[in-house]
């Protein structure tokens, strides 16, 4: 699975939008872009994923660049509960051998 690059940390204020970037310049055509987050003392939590088109769900939006070499996770209104480590991960589709390979992720701090 191709690698991703994320900033080590980001900060935001409560109720403001947060844009978490992820670079994946070696992405292949069958790689899905997944985002997970891990709140303190909890297991990783699925946030969103996509292949080519932008995606929205109740938690967040995923904006995927046209060349697919980067993506941005958008939290529309950050809350204190969104403070977590956010992981951007690529997984190859079409195989049962896919696996989530976690990097360092981005530590998001949300200020009241």
- The interface mask with another protein, positions 45-84, x = CB under 8 A, is xx--x-x---------------------------------
Stretch that binds another protein, among 4-12, 26-34, 62-70, 71-79 (CB under 8 A): 26-34
Report the alpha-carbon angle 6-65-1, nearest 5: 55
- The interface mask with another protein, positions 78-97, x = CB under 8 A, is -------x-----xxxxxxx
Q: How far apart are CB 98 and another protein at their closest, in Å?
A: 5
Alpha carbon 19 to its chain centroid, in Å, reads 10
Q: Do 18 and 75 meet the contact criterion of CB atoms below 8 Å apart?
A: yes
Q: Do 39 and 102 meet the contact criterion of CB atoms below 8 Å apart?
A: no
Q: Which is nearer to another protein, 17 or 103 (CB)?
A: 103
| Contact status: 39 vs another protein (CB under 8 A) | no
> Judging by DSSP bridges, how do beta strands 45-50 and 31-38 pair with one another?
antiparallel
Q: Do 63 and 70 meet the contact criterion of CB atoms below 8 Å apart?
A: no
Q: Which residues bind another protein (CB under 8 A)?
A: 30-32, 34, 36, 38, 42-46, 49, 51, 85, 91-102, 104
């Amino acid at each position: 699975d191709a690698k991703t690059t994320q900033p080590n940390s980001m900060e935001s204020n409560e109720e403001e939008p947060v844009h978490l970037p992820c670079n994946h310049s070696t992405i292949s055509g069958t790689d899905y872009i997944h985002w997970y987050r891990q709140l303190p003392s909890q297991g990783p939590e699925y946030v969103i994923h996509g292949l080519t088109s932008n995606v929205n769900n109740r938690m967040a939006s995923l904006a995927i660049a046209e060349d697919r070499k980067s993506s941005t996770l958008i939290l529309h209104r950050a809350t204190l509960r969104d403070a977590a480590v956010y992981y951007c991960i690529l997984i190859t589709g079409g195989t049962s051998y896919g696996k989530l390979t976690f990097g360092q992720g981005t530590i998001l701090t949300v200020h009241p």
